[in-house]
């Protein structure tokens, strides 16, 4: 089963929901991994504009929000989702993993959206937790997120040791995603588990996408393994 996915740090939709939606709509993804989604109303409006279903962090009066999300387009659907808080995190910038089960016609995968911290030690701890989530998953896994470090970083390498870096399998250029105006660093990455085939990966960098966020998106064409 083919699955088109898109990863995007949308910078809180500061450039406008419509601009970001136009970029995403151009690629017609089945599953979208988002970071820095801003207020809940912004995410809901964005999802409605694309006709997609959104899975985000649950309401919690005791915690600050973890602003990652997974969106799906029909006929794909969200069967279940949960937020795994990655600890310890800075109180004012909590980190987590939004874990969603995505299904269609008997095919299924676990989609995990995450955004690692700014400090190296924090990123390494959280990468270990992410590896644990992957190892416990019963379905094929796709992880997408802003890792805040390049591929030679320790946290990035930990994920690449356990999963396949989609860009290395299907990318056709260097794949830099940040900063959008003149990208020099590949810090946004998609990873897939064994059995998920990467057909193609690209980083759009045309004028409209460079002004929609401070990151460029990553788009990938995948093929999920047959059930059973």
For the domain that residue 18 is a member of, what is the CATH number? 3.60.10.10
pTM of the entire predicted model: 0.96
Among the listed residues 86, 57, 70, 85, the one whose alpha carbon sits nearest the alpha carbon of residue 142: 70
pLDDT at 4: 98
The owner of tokens 């299907």 is 170
Cβ-defined contacts of 132-138 (< 8 Å, 24+): 133/84, 133/97, 133/99, 134/162, 134/163, 134/193, 135/162, 137/110, 137/193, 138/110
Q: Is the separation of the CB atoms in 90 and 82 below 8 Å?
A: no
Q: Note whether residue 39 is domain-resident.
A: yes
Q: What is the DSSP letter of 172?
A: S
pLDDT at 57: 87
Q: Note whether residue 228 is domain-resident.
A: no
pLDDT at 63: 72
Q: Note whether residue 126 is domain-resident.
A: yes
Q: Average pLDDT for consecutive 10-residue bins of the chain (228 residues)?
A: 97 97 98 96 97 89 85 97 83 86 97 95 95 96 98 98 96 92 97 97 95 98 93
pLDDT at 126: 95
Domain that holds residue 139: 2-223
Axis crossing angle, helix 17-27 with helix 40-50, rounded to the nearest 10: 40
pLDDT at 58: 81
* Structural domain count of the chain: 1
């Amino acid at each position: 089963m083919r699955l088109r996915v898109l990863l995007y740090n949308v910078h809180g939709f500061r450039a406008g929901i419509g601009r970001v939606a136009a970029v995403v709509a151009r690629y017609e993804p089945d599953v979208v991994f988002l970071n820095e989604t801003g207020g809940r109303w912004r995410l809901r409006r964005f999802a409605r504009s694309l006709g997609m279903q959104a899975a985000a962090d649950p309401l919690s009066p005791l915690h600050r929000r973890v602003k990652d999300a997974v969106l799906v387009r029909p006929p794909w659907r969200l069967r279940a989702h949960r937020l795994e808080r990655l600890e310890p995190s800075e109180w004012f910038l909590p980190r987590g993993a939004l874990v969603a089960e995505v299904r269609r016609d008997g095919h299924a995968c676990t989609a995990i959206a995450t955004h690692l911290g700014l400090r190296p030690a924090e990123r390494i701890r959280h990468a270990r937790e992410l590896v644990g989530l992957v190892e416990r998953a019963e379905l094929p896994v796709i992880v997408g997120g802003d890792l805040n470090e390049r591929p030679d970083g320790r946290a990035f390498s930990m994920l690449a040791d356990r999963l396949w870096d989609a860009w290395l399998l299907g990318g056709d250029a260097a794949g830099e995603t940040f900063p959008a105006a003149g990208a020099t660093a590949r810090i946004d990455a998609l990873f897939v588990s064994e059995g998920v085939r990467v057909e193609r990966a690209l980083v759009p960098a045309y004028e409209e996408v460079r002004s929609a966020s401070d990151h460029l998106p990553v788009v990938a064409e995948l093929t999920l393994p047959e059930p059973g």
